[in-house]
Amino acid sequence: MILKYFFTIYIDNMTTNEELDIYVKKYLPKNYHYINSMPSDVFEQTKFKLNDCTIVNYDTSRKEGSHWIAVMFPKDYDAEYSDSFGQKPDADDAILRDKTNFKKVLKKYSSTGEYTYNNLKLQDLKTSVCGCYASLTIRHGLPNVKNEFWKRIIMMYQPQRDLKIANIFLDGLGNSTKY
């Protein structure tokens, strides 16, 4: 019953940019500067600095929104891109049918001229918790098995993984309702 309710809520209701911005600003790592969440066309026009981070929606500003990803520009490392489906930058073009230039932006503003990305498929395709994953990526770093937070999440099976991510996000917003 609880999981049915969870999936009903998150299949049709994507996390809003306002919720993402509130969460990230609350838990932003000290060395980063957060630039509010944005659509892909705004991302491509933004001038980033080292230690900037943001959450980007694959859709342009003329659309409702489809999928959130996290982007970070660490001072001394490759730019970081995290997609909860484990796709590399611009790979979702075939899935979402949106043309993006994420690779170009990542390389342009990276301190090394290169980027790294999360290749772990974390999110179930039937859920809309991509914004939760993106927010937690900025808080805890790029998902990988060496990171203690992500290691615990990765070890979970679906649908418990998405449920846990949603609960962590909602708790961080101050919403004590558990799904």
Whether residue 137 has pLDDT greater than 50 = yes
Backbone angle region of 168, left / alpha / beta, with phi > 0 → left and psi within -120 to 50 → alpha:
alpha
Structure pTM? 0.88
Asked whether the predicted pLDDT for residue 112 surpasses 90, the reply is: yes
Most confident listed range (11-15, 57-61, 81-85, 98-102): 81-85
Q: And the tokens for 16?
A: 């809003």
CATH 3.40.395.10: does it fit domain 2-173? yes
Asked whether the predicted pLDDT for residue 178 surpasses 60, the reply is: no
* pLDDT (mean) for 7-31: 81
Domain ranges of the chain: 2-173
